Structure formats: C-alpha cells, structure tokens
Chains A and B, each alone.
Chain A
Amino acid sequence: MNRFKNWAPYLQVTPLALVFLVFLVIPIATIVVVSFFDYNTAQIIPAFLRQNYEELLTSPVTWQTYLQTVEFAAITWLLTFVIGFTIAYFLAFYVRSTTWQTVLFLVCTIPFWTSNVIRMISWIPFLGRNGLANMTLMQLGLIHQPLEFLLYSNFSVVLVYVHLYTLFMVVPIFNSMMRIDRSLLEAALDAGASGWQTLVNVILPLCKPGIAIGSIFVVTIVMGDFVTVRMMSGGLSASVALMMANAMSLLQYPAAAANAVILLIVVLMIVAAMMRVVDIRKEL
C-alpha cells in the first residue's frame, strides 16, 4: 500500500511524459541533428556540416525575412494588447452581473474553438476587389476606385492575426483583472485618483502577469506562423516559417531544419525575456 503510494505519481504522469518524449523532445532533437546533415536532390545524407547554417546566415534574404516576421509580431502584439486589454477591462469592471460577464466572455471565446483556416477564408468576400468593404466605401462616395491593399497585402495579414489571436490576450488579462481586490480600487478613488490614474497606476501593474502570458502566446504564434502569411498575402509577404515550408517542399530538409533551429532559439529568447515578468506556476 505504502509502496504503491510512493510510486503512484510516477505511474500517473508516465503517459503524458511519454507523449512529450516521443512527439516533442525526440522530434526537436531530430531537427537539430538533421540541421547538420548534407543533402542532394534525392536524399539526405548523415554528416556533420556547418554549411546549412553558413548559407542561411550569410544570405540577406534570411535577415530580411526574420526582420519582416519580427515586424509582424511587434505590430500584432501592440494591436492585440490594446484591444485585448480594453475588452478585458470592460468585461471585468463595467459589466456588473456575473451572468452577463459569463455570457459576454463566452461570446468572445467561442470563435477560438472554430477553424482558423475557415476564419481566414471568411475575410475574402469582405476585403476583395469587389468585396463588401470596397463596395460600401464606393457607394458612400469615399473612394472612386477599389482599394487594392485590402486583400493580399501585409494589411490583410495583420488584420487576420488580430482577428484570430486577440482572444489570447483577452483571457489571461481578464483572469488577472478578476483577481484584483476591489477595495484597492476604492482606496485609489478615496485617495483622489481619477479613473484614468487608477487604470494606469493600479490596474495596469496588477495585470502584468496576464499581459505577459497573453504576449507569450501571441508572439510565439505569429513568429511561427506561415498559414496566415501564405493565405492572406497571396504569396507577396514572407515569414520565417514560410521560408522553411518552401525549403521543405523543395525537399531541402537539412536547410529547413537549420532554419528551424535558429527560429527556435529566437523564439525561446523572446519568451525567456517575457517570463522574467511572470511566474506561470503561480498563475494557475
């Protein structure tokens, strides 16, 4: 009985640990190993070469692509943060009945459980040359020719990022806000703070953990994205993951793997910087 008790946690955690070992740790290790392999048009050849990295890091295209991806991530982060924070702030402090709070929160989260690819497609009739946006603007007489930049541009890429990922900001920030002791707000009010001062000096600092968690989600997803970029830019914009996908389709596996390793290092560095703000284990 007692022996079983000491072993129980290990038995209970084994299935989960095995999945992570086989489908996370070993695959990432494989990427690292293959990134040093040699290759030709037909196959990959075990070797230990630095060539894949050298070619990658000396190409200006690589640097431009990384810069473009970081730019997408930064713009998306800023927009999702501002919108997400405002939505969470409204839900947490201005919706008074708990039922309404739950209902409105659900309204915000339901799209998360539907298909991202479909949600991207659904922007096409909206943004296209003859889409709803252009038709409306023309009918209002605001423009005389359809705006070309609405679809298949960096604009539509960022728009869809914001559409898909603002939720990742709303949920953790809302969670942080709901934990704020309401008497702190009253104290701020009593001490003569305006609503705006309370927001900036009391609420915002207390939401830091939620903001950090949301930021980690948004930034890592955008840094590793290629579906949205490929679909919404119509092939006009680049991203690191798209570059990898292209190398994969040319069967240049080691080149893709080397790029993957560098992307992973960049993403982990960004996350490490954000983790300094928050202890995730405390947030659960």
Chain B
Amino acid sequence: MTNGRRGPVFWLLAAFFALFVLFLYGPTITILILSFQGPSGQLTFPMTGFSLHWFANLFEPQMVGDFAGSLRRSLILGLAVMIVTVVFSFSAGLAFRRRFVGSNVIFYLAIASLIVPSILISLGIGLLFRVLEIDPAWYSSAFGAHLTWTLPFGLLIMFAVFNRFDHRYEEAARDLGATPWQTVRHVILPIIAPSLIGVGLFGFTLSYDEYARSLYTAGSFNTLPLEIYGMTTNVTTPVLYALGSVTTGLSFLVIAIALVSFTWIRRRRERHGSDAGKAA
C-alpha cells in the first residue's frame, strides 16, 4: 500500500481529499467574490457588477454598527491574550518538567478548561461578576474567559515540546557555569522559539474569533465576533460579506506572519547553527 505505483485507491482518496478542501474553502471563496458585488447587488448571485462599494460602506459607522471600534477592541484583546498565553504557558511548561505537589490537579484543570462547554464558562464568569456587582468588560472578564480557552492549548503544546527536549543542552549550559536565568534566556528560549510562535498563533486567533466565551463577559462594548453576529440578524446587504472578507483576510495575515517567522527562524538556524552557547 505504501510502496509501488499509485493505484486506484490513491486516486480515489486524492479525489476525496480534493472534495474536502473544496468543502472547506468553497463557501469562504464564495463570500469573498460576493463582497465585490455591485452597489445594487443582493446577498446571492448573480453579481450585478464589480465594486468596492460594500467595503467603503463598512467604514461608515452609522451603517453597520461599530465595526471600527469592535475591530480595535478585538485586536487589542487578541494581542494581550497572545502575550499572556505565551508567557504563562512557557512558565508552566518549565514547571511541569518536574513532579510537584498538585501537578496532576493543574493538568486536569487544563483538560477541564478545554472540555467544559464555552457557554458554561461564559455564563459562570458573567454570573460571578453579577454576584460580585462588578461590571463585566472585554478587558477584564472576557480577557479571563479567553485565557481559559487559549492556555490549555498553550500548555499542551509546551508539554509536547518539553517531552522532546534534549536535556543535555541544559546540563551543558549548567556545566559551563550558566545561571538558571541564563540557561532559560540563551539555551531553552532559542531552541523552542518556533513552538512559542505556534502558541502565540493559537492565543491570538482563538481570542480574535471567540464568540461564546465573550457573550456574557464582554460587557457593554462588543468584540468583533459579537458585532458580526449581531449584524447577521439585521443586515441584509453584502456589507456582511465585506466584513467577512476583511476579518478572514486579517486572520490569514496573522497565520502568514506566524508561518513566515517560523520558516525564517528555521532557515537562520540552518545557516548559522544554533546560537545556544554564544551567551557571554
């Protein structure tokens, strides 16, 4: 099966794969095309022309709610969640390399955080803030709610990374007289940098796209997914698709940045070798 010529099974599976990819991307491509709909166009085909009308429409606040404001909030929130996810997961990943009292509890909390439905976390945090008589806001309660979704991913990635980490690098650094901080800064960090980019990608995009966990925690100002969802119920023009194209474009940009930096680090490493040990 894995050897020899490509038989009919290969082509059958390849066709299935191609259909799956079409299924994944087809709808997104459809709305990308429709967002260039002419000014008199509808939510479906045919195209009545080709224009940037609906993109321009998007930036007129009175037409579609607070797009610019919610976009700004979601970007800031996403960046904050990204930074905190990277730092906290890295730090916890270091801790989990040794057995400590309570490590199992924290591990199972992380798993619980993944499997407890998002709406329950949202509801719980919303109720908690209500009981404590604190107003929920996107930068406090929603920030925490997003972290309960991004941190488990970050932690699990860190587990996978440190399980494959060659501890001799660290021992060598220690033998050469590096302090624990120097070992982290000049040995561990450079080696696992690509994985940290991955954790950051999870942190930003999961927060930027999160709906359910923001629902009862965002307070009086909407994040972007809440705003988009609100629009689906009362906007019946292709401006909705323009919004979809812009947000998806932004997501692709972030993914591209992550992939490019990932490759860049690997290339640089191949050219220069590891810079571990160059610490003075």
27 intermolecular pairs with C-beta atoms under 8 Å apart? A4-B180, A13-B92, A13-B96, A13-B103, A17-B92, A20-B113, A23-B125, A24-B116, A83-B20, A94-B13, A94-B14, A113-B201, A113-B251, A114-B205, A115-B248, A117-B211, A126-B26, A130-B44, A132-B30, A135-B45, A198-B1, A241-B117, A245-B215, A256-B123, A260-B123, A263-B120, A264-B117
- A77 on interface, CB distance cutoff 8 Å: no
B112:A281 contact, CB within 8 angstroms: no
Contacts of A86 in B (CB 8 A): 13, 16
When A23-B148, A224-B117 are in contact, do A31 and B1 touch as well, CB less than 8 Å?
no
> In whole angstroms, how far apart are the Cα atoms of A94 and B6 in the complex?
9
Bitwise, A9-30 to B at CB < 8 A (1) or not (0) is 1111101110110111111101
Contacts of B100 in A (CB 8 A): 9-10, 13
- B170 on interface, CB distance cutoff 8 Å: no
B interface, over-half SS: helix
B17 to chain A, nearest CB (A): 5
Contacts of B30 in A (CB 8 A): 122, 125-126, 132
- B218 on interface, CB distance cutoff 8 Å: no
B residues adjacent to A (C-beta < 8 A): 1-2, 9-10, 13-14, 16-17, 20-21, 23-28, 30-31, 34, 43-45, 87-89, 91-92, 94-96, 98, 100, 102-103, 106-107, 109-121, 123-125, 127-128, 130-131, 144-145, 147-148, 151, 155-156, 159-160, 163, 180, 201, 205, 208-209, 211-212, 215-216, 225, 228-229, 232, 240-241, 243-244, 247-248, 251-252, 254-255, 259
Contacts of B208 in A (CB 8 A): 115
A117:B119 contact, CB within 8 angstroms: no
Residue in B9, B156, B240, B252 whose beta carbon sits within 8 Å of that of A121 in the complex? B240
Contacts of A110 in B (CB 8 A): 252, 255
B92:A12 contact, CB within 8 angstroms: yes
Within 8 A of B (CB), among A88-127: 89-91, 93-94, 96, 104, 106-108, 110-111, 113-119, 121-126
- A211 on interface, CB distance cutoff 8 Å: no
When A22-B144, A93-B2, A263-B120 are in contact, do A27 and B95 touch as well, CB less than 8 Å?
no
B26:A245 contact, CB within 8 angstroms: no
B124:A28 contact, CB within 8 angstroms: yes
A interface, over-half SS: helix
Residue in B24, B102, B244 whose beta carbon sits within 8 Å of that of A118 in the complex? B244
> In whole angstroms, how far apart are the Cα atoms of A264 and B121 in the complex?
11
Number of residues from A at the complex interface, CB < 8 A = 90
B1 to chain A, nearest CB (A): 5
B129 to chain A, nearest CB (A): 9
B212:A227 contact, CB within 8 angstroms: yes
Which residue among B112, B201, B252 has the maximum number of chain A CB atoms within 10 Å of its CB? B112
A residues adjacent to B (C-beta < 8 A): 4-5, 8-13, 15-17, 19-20, 22-28, 30-31, 34, 44, 83, 86-87, 89-91, 93-94, 96, 104, 106-108, 110-111, 113-119, 121-126, 128, 130-132, 135, 163, 166, 182, 185, 189, 195, 198, 216-217, 220-221, 223-227, 231, 241, 244-245, 248, 253, 256-257, 260, 263-264, 267-268, 271, 280-281, 284
> In whole angstroms, how far apart are the Cα atoms of A257 and B148 in the complex?
19
Residue in A124, A130, A271 whose beta carbon sits within 8 Å of that of B115 in the complex? A271
> In whole angstroms, how far apart are the Cα atoms of A15 and B14 in the complex?
46
> In whole angstroms, how far apart are the Cα atoms of A256 and B130 in the complex?
14
Contacts of A231 in B (CB 8 A): 229, 232
> In whole angstroms, how far apart are the Cα atoms of A163 and B21 in the complex?
10
B81 to chain A, nearest CB (A): 11
B116:A28 contact, CB within 8 angstroms: yes
